[in-house]
Amino acid sequence: MTTLFKTIALIGKQKNSEIVSPLLRLGQYLQDRGTEVLLDCVTASEVVAKNYPVLAIEEIGARADLAIVLGGDGTMLNIARKLAPFDVPLVGINQGHLGFLTDLSIETMLESVGNMLDGSYVTERRMLLSAQVIRSEVSVFSAIALNDVTVNRGSGGNMIEFEVRINGEYVYSLRADGLIVATPTGSTAYALSSGGPILHPSLDLIALVPVSPHTLSNRPIVVGPEAVVEILIHRTADARVHSDSHFHFDLQENDKVVVTRSNHTVRLLHSADHSYYRMLREKLGWSGFPQKKA
């Protein structure tokens, strides 16, 4: 059977030698199916016998029809941001417990990937956020995020103080440990642990979730995808802005963090029997009723 994916990139978790064996096993399987296999240069540094072309991630974006990521959700977050401008579809294989983004297991990966190459898969589009820091009317930092853009206090014990505006309209002033601006993908990450709502990934919405607010009436709110969220810093307490916890930038008083929907999206492929609600049940322990005490 013909497949749309003629050239497939394999990308593994950085500095993890345990990923090499399953990666090479998958590479051989793909080659046996007549597929051209690529390795990104970081992954290739862990592989002794480099039997495949080794490319930078930008070259993979321009050349690959599909990228298969072996690792965990953190690895997928990193690769998804880098490949989003190229619209390369992604498949995630988890080497441990199945994740929210890496939902195939190493034990069954050959069968799962084979079925997907035969056309048995479903596609999801995930929105991204774009963030920048404006200082004295100049942009001094920019990043994109698949999970969230977060403003957090530093290592000191003091809360930070900031003002939030949406589409130019004043919403509230807040003393808190921080504020999470999350996508539906990120609603099951840091935002969830801070009491935010779970948003289905098919939605294009943005959640604003305060982190340990001084006033308990400051609750999470959800806004539309065209919202322009502005966070004006009044007192920093060594505050930082984070993008997916991978990139950060130190903030100063009067800095303005501007968060909007990115023009790019991430395309994830799942097995045909993939169920978001089943994954939530398994990951969050929703299955069954609590056991009654004797």
Bridge partner residues of 15 (DSSP): none
* Residue 188: per-residue pLDDT: 95
Domains of the chain: 7-119 (3.40.50.10330), 128-263 (2.60.200.30)
* Residue 138: per-residue pLDDT: 97
The pTM for the full model equals: 0.93
**Torsion sign (Cα): 273, 275, 280, 285:** negative
Give the span between the Cα atoms of 96 and 92, in whole angstroms.
Answer: 12
Whether 49 and 76 have beta carbons less than 8 Å apart is answered as: no
Give the span between the Cα atoms of 226 and 204, in whole angstroms.
Answer: 9
Q: What is the mean pLDDT of the chain?
A: 92
Indicate whether 253 pLDDT > 90.
yes
Average pLDDT (215-239) is 93
* Residue 236: per-residue pLDDT: 83
Indicate whether 283 pLDDT > 90.
no
**pLDDT category, 154, cuts 50, 70, 90?**
confident
Indicate whether 279 pLDDT > 80.
yes
Cβ atoms < 10 Å from Cβ of 82: 19
* Residue 293: per-residue pLDDT: 67
**pLDDT category, 49, cuts 50, 70, 90?**
low
Whether 249 and 155 have beta carbons less than 8 Å apart is answered as: no
Indicate whether 1 pLDDT > 70.
no
Q: Give every CB contact of residue 127 below 8 A, 6+ residues apart in sequence.
A: 183, 184, 185, 204, 225, 261, 262, 265
* Residue 217: per-residue pLDDT: 86
Indicate whether 259 pLDDT > 60.
yes
Residue 27 in tokens: 């590479």
Average pLDDT (257-280) is 96
Smallest CA-to-CA distance from 71 within 10, 131, 156 is with 10
**pLDDT category, 160, cuts 50, 70, 90?**
very high
Three-state secondary structure of the chain: CCCCCCEEEEEECCCCHHHHHHHHHHHHHHHHCCCEEEEEHHHHCCCCCCCCCEECHHHHHHHCCEEEEEECHHHHHHHHHHHHHHCCCEEEEECCCCCCCCCEECCCHHHHHHHHHCCCEEEEEEEEEEEEEEECCEEEEEEEECCEEEEECCCCCCCEEEEEEECCEEEEEEEECEEEEECCHHHHCHHHHCCCCCCCCCCCCEEEEEECCCCCCCCCEEECCCCCEEEEEEECCCCEEEECCCEEEECCCCCEEEEEEEEEEEEEEEECCCCHHHHHHHHHCCCCCCCCCC
Give the residue with greater pLDDT, 16 vs 34: 34
Give the residue with greater pLDDT, 84 vs 292: 84
Instruction: Tell me the per-residue pLDDT of 127-143, one tens digit each, with 9 for 90 and over.
Output: 999 999 999 999 999 99
* Residue 127: per-residue pLDDT: 97
Give the span between the Cα atoms of 140 and 150, in whole angstroms.
Answer: 17
**Distance, first Cα to last Cα, the chain:** 57
Which are the catalytic amino acids? 73
